[in-house]
A and B are shown apart, each in its own frame.
Chain A
Amino acid sequence: MLIGIDVGGTFTDGVLFDHQQSQIMKTVKVPTRSQQLQSSLLEVLDNLLSGRDRAGIQRIVLSTTLVTNLLATKAGEPPALILIPGPGLPFSYLQIFPRTFIVKGAIDFRGRETEKLERQEIEAIVEEIRASGLRKIAVVGKFSNRNPHHEQTIRDIIGEKYPQAEVGIGSELAGQLNYLRRIATSYYSLLTRERWAGFAHDIEKAIQERGLAKVPLDILKADGGTMPLQHALQYPCETILSGPAASTMGAAAVTGQAATAVVLDIGGTTTDISLLLDGQPLYASRGARINENFTHIKAISTRSLPLGGDSPVCYKPDRGIYIDPVRRGPAACFGGDNATITDIFNCKYELSVGEAEKSRQSLQRLQAQANLDAAALLEAVENMVMVQLLSAMENIFSEWENEPAYRVWEVVHNRKFEVKRIIGIGAAAGAIVPVLAARMKADSFIHALAPIANALGAAVARPTLAFNLHIDTEKGYYFTDHDGIGGTIRKGAGLQMEDAQKLAGEVMQQLAQQRGLAEYTGEAEFTREEQFNMIRGWDRTGKIFELGMQIKPGFIKEFEEGSL
C-alpha cells in the first residue's frame, strides 16, 4: 500500500494506492490551510489511514508547497553572503541579495588559484556579520566547482571566529556551472533550511505517533523524482514546484506508456502545462526560477496560466465578456454564485456536471447583461479559453524547439514537437481538454483518476539523481556538482572514456547510498559523454572529460506501468 499526498495551493489531495492490486483504495481532498500545512496534510493522512491496517503501508510520499510559500513570502531568517567572484561581471551584478560581502581571491576555469584570499579581510567581515546578529552565512566562489579550496578556507575561518554560525558553501549546495545561479541557490537553501527542518521534524513525529516509524517517508522534488525526508534537510529548495511535478508524473502514470504528450492540469484556479517526451518530463532549461532568479534546481518546465474551471466569466460594458483570473468560489453548478468556465462548457457540451440547471441559470444572467444569444456567448468564451491555452502551448513548444545547441548533430537533427496527444488531469480537465484536442487534431486522454493524478504521481514516483562529473587529467583531479565530491586522479593523457565512465559509476554508487536509491543505480544512464584532448604546442598534455549521469524520473519498481 502506498500513500501519496500533494499539498497544493488550494487543495490537499491524498491517495491510498494498493500497488499489488493496482487499485485506488481511497482518495481524500480537503482545502489547504496555508498557515498550517501540517494540519491539512495530517488530516488527509488520518483520513486515508482510518480503518486500515498500518502494517500494509510501504511508502509515504509528500509533495508540499511549504518551501514555495516560504520563498514567496520571504519568510525565514536571511543569510549573509560572502562572495569570492574574482574578475568578470561587475560586482553590482552579484549583489542580488542584501547583506552581500565581496572578498578578494579568484579561481579560474581549470581550478587554478589566480588570486589569493586575504585572511584579515575575511576575519573583519565575519566579525561584522557576527556583530549584526546574522546567524547564517553562505560562502560562494566563482569556479568553486573546479576548486572549492577558497570556500572551504572561509568556512574554516568562520568556524574559528563565529562557531555558532550556520555555514553553507556553494560547491556543496549547487556545483553546476553558473555562478549567478549558484549564489541564488545557496542563498535560498540557507534561507529555508531551518523552517523546513522544523516542518520535517513535526511530520516525522506525527508519522511515528501513527505507528508508521518504519515506513520510508519521501519528498517529491521539482524534477519529478523523490528523495528521503532526511536528505531533504540539506536541500530544501529541491522541493519547490513539486505540485506540477506531481501532476506531470501522475499524468505519465495514468497514461501508462512512454508517451509524447502535452499534460494539462486544469484545476479550479490555474492551468499548468507541461510536456512529456517519450514518457520523460521536459525540464526547464535554466532550472527553477525563484523570485525572478534562476537557480540550479532541476525542475519540470511548466507554464502556469491563471485560468481554471472556477475562473469566473464576467461582463462589463466597457470590456464586454471576459474571463477573470481571480477565482471567486466554485462553479455555479457546484453551488457558486458566478458563471464559470466549467458552467460554460457544461452548457455548451451538455456535460451534466453537477447541477446543470444552475449552470444554465448563470449563463442566462450573463446573457441578459451582455445582450448576446446563448450560442454566441458560449462560442466567444470557448474561443477565449482556447486562445489562452493554445498560445501558452505554442510558447512552450517553440521554447523547447529553440533551445540553444552546442553540437553539430543537434543542429542537423532539428527538434519539432508534434502534438499527438493531450493528457488532461485535474478537476476541470474533463470539460475542456477534449474540445482543445479536437481543435488541435490530437487525441485527448482523460483517465478516470485524472482528478487525483497528482497525489497518485507522488505515490509512485521513484527517486531521481542527476550529476555531472568533470575530470581534468592534466591537473589530475575530478569534481562533481554534488555535495562537493571530488578527488585526485592519475595525471596524463592515458585515461580513456571507459575509465571516466567507471569513475562516474562509482560516484553514482556513493551518491545513491546517501540518497536511498541504491536499488535504482542499475538504471543509471549517461546523459553526456564528452572528451577533449588538451593540445599544448603540438603535444597532447591531458584530457578533459565532461560526463553527465542520471537516474531519470520514473516509477518505483512496485508500480506496474500500464496497470491502471
Chain B
Amino acid sequence: MNNTGVIFFPAFDWAISPTHPEREERLLYTRDQIFEEGIMDLPNIHEFKPRLAEKKDIARVHFCVPNVDAQITAAHLVSAGSALVIADAVIKGEVDNGFSIARPPGHHAMTVAHGNRGFCNINNEAIMIEYIRNKYGLRKIAVVDTDVHHGDGSQEIFYDDPDILFISFHQDGRTLYPGSGFVYELGGPMAWGSTINIPLPPNTTDAGILRVLDNLVLPILEEFEPELIVNSAGQDNHYTDPLANMRFTAHGYAELNRRLAPDIAVLEGGYSVETALPYVNMALLMAMAGIDYSNLREPDYKSELFKEDPRHIEYIDQLISHQLINFRSRQQHIEENIKKYGREYSEHQQIYYDTDGISEDQSRRLRICPACPGWRIIDSSARHRNGKKYHVFCISVPAFACPDCRREALNAYKDVAAYNNNFDFVYLQDRANDRYIALDKAKGREEVYE
C-alpha cells in the first residue's frame, strides 16, 4: 500500500472551444467515477489543492512568443501548478507517489511556444522537471510517455539533455499525429541514446505494450538509474479512444503503472470521455496506491476480444533488441559525435502547430562542450494567428551548465541584444542562475523573471 497524492483538476470552466475534445466535459465522468467510488476517502489517498504555477516556472522551460501571458490562460497555470504541487509532496516525502489528473495537457508543447500544438500550449512535465531540478537539485530524471501520440514536445525540450531519459511508446507516427517518434530519433549529438522511441502498430493490445515495458523500458530504466520516474500519462491507447487506434484496456494501464511504479504521473491526452477515462483514471490511481484492481474493468470488457496479433509480437521483439543496442551504445556514439561535430552542431526544422495553424521556421545550434551538456541557440520565426510575424532569438543555458558555457551564453545574449536588429525579441533562459530575460527590441525593454 502506498500513500498516494492526487490532484483532480477537471477545469470545469475551461475549453479550447465548445465542441473541441479538450472541453469542460472531458473529466466529468471521471469525476463521477472517482467521487462515487469514494477512493479519495481512503486513508492512503491524499487529495491536494492545485495552485498557480508562476510565470518564472514557465520561462524556465519555454520561450513564449512574444511573452508568457500571450501563450497561456489561468487554466494552464493551474494545470502546470498541479504538477508542481504533486512534485513538492512527493519529493518532500509527504506521499510515496502522486498523480496530477489535470487539464489542459502539455506534452506536445516544445521549447519555443508560438501557439497551441496538439491541444498543448505549455509542457506541464517539463515545467515540473526543471522546477524539481532547480528547487531540489535532482539531476537524472526519466520520463515515460504512455500517451498514444508521440510526446514530441517533451522529446524536443530534453533532446540535448543527457540527464533526462525520455522514453515514448505510441502508435506509429506514420498512422497518427504528430507523425514523429521514429526509432532513429535518439537524442542530440551529446545526448544520443537518452531519447528512446517505440512506435507500435495500430491495434496493439495490453500484451504488446506490457512486453515493451518488461523487456525494454524497465531494463533501460534500471541501467539509467534515474532519481525520479515520471509517467506522462496519456489515456488514449485505450480501445475506445476516438482519435487513435490502439487496443489497450484499463486493466492494462493499471498493470503498466504497477510495474513501472512512477513517482509522479501527470495526465496527458485521452478523449474517450465516457468509455475510457473514468476507468483508466481509476485504474491508475488504484495501481499507484497499491490497491488491488482486479475488480476494475470497463462494462463491455471481455478478455477474449484482446488477443495480440503474433506479427505484432515479432515486430515488437525486433524493436526491443534494436533499441536496447542503441541505448547501451550511447556513450560510444556521443564520443564519436564529439569528434564528428567539434564545437557546434546545427540543424534546421519546421514545426507545425495544428490547433492554431501556425508554421514555425527554426534554426538550432548546440554549442558542444566537453564539460557540460552545452548551451543552445534557437532562431525562430512564425506568423501568429493575429497575422503578426515574430522573429525571435533564444538562448538556453541548461541547469547543470559549466561556468564557461554560462559566460559564453551570457555574452552571446548581450551581443545580440545590443547589436543585432534582425529580431523582434531576444530571450535568455539561464537555468543555471534561474534567471530569465525577454527583451522586446522595438521597445528596448527587458522583462526579467528571477
Contact = CB atoms under 8 A, between A and B. Distances in A.
A91 B29 CA distance: 22
21 contacts: A87-B299, A88-B296, A89-B295, A90-B292, A177-B32, A180-B41, A181-B41, A294-B41, A404-B48, A405-B49, A405-B50, A406-B8, A406-B9, A406-B12, A407-B13, A408-B13, A408-B14, A408-B75, A411-B74, A533-B23, A535-B25
Interface stretch (A105-113, A224-232, A352-360): A105-113
Interface in B116-172: none
A181 B38 CA distance: 7
A115 B9 contact: no
Nearest to A85: B295
Given A411-B51, A534-B25, A90 B13 contact: no
Contact of B8 (A89, A178, A404, A544): A404
A88 B24 CA distance: 24
B42 A93 contact: yes
A534 B297 CA distance: 23
Nearest to B298: A87
B19 A535 contact: yes
Interface string B289-314: 00110111111000000000000000
Interface in B3-18: 7-14, 18
Interface of B: 7-14, 18-19, 23-25, 28-29, 31-33, 35-39, 41-42, 47-52, 73-75, 78, 81, 274, 278-279, 282, 286, 291-292, 294-299
B274 A412 contact: no
Given A93-B42, A404-B49, A409 B23 contact: no
Contacts of B52: 411-412
B24 A533 contact: yes
Interface string A384-427: 00000000000000000011111111011010000000000000
B19 A540 contact: yes
A409 B296 CA distance: 34
Contacts of B18: 533, 535
Interface string A169-209: 00000000111110000000000000000000000000000
A382 B291 CA distance: 46
Contacts of A409: 13, 74
A40 B52 CA distance: 54
B299 A108 contact: yes
A139 to B, nearest CB: 17
Contacts of B291: 89-90, 93
Contact of A286 (B10, B25, B41): B41
The listed residue with most A CB atoms (<10 A of its CB), out of B41, B47, B291, B296, is B41
Interface in A87-143: 87-93, 106, 108-110, 112, 114-115, 142-143
Nearest to B301: A87
A179 B278 CA distance: 15
Contact of A544 (B28, B278, B292): B28
Interface in A75-95: 87-93
Choose among B11, B28, B38 the residue with the greatest number of A CB atoms under 10 Å from its CB: B38
B294 A89 contact: no
A408 B8 CA distance: 12
B12 A530 contact: yes
A110 B48 CA distance: 27
A90 B295 contact: yes
Contact of A89 (B12, B286, B297): B286
B297 A87 contact: yes
Instruction: Point out which of A106, A109, A402, A414 has the most chain B C-beta atoms below 10 A from its C-beta.
Output: A109
Contacts of A110: 29, 274
Nearest to B78: A411
A142 B12 contact: no
Contacts of A294: 38, 41
A532 B295 contact: no
A178 B23 contact: no
Most chain B Cβ neighbours within 10 Å, of A90, A112, A403, A408: A408
Given A142-B36, A405-B49, A533-B24, 9 more contacts: A87-B298, A88-B295, A90-B294, A109-B36, A286-B41, A406-B11, A407-B13, A411-B52, A530-B12
Contacts of A143: 32, 36
Nearest to B292: A90
A412 B74 contact: yes
Contacts of A108: 299
A505 to B, nearest CB: 23
A542 to B, nearest CB: 11
A534 to B, nearest CB: 6
A407 B12 contact: yes
A88 B37 contact: yes
B11 A177 contact: no
Nearest to B6: A404
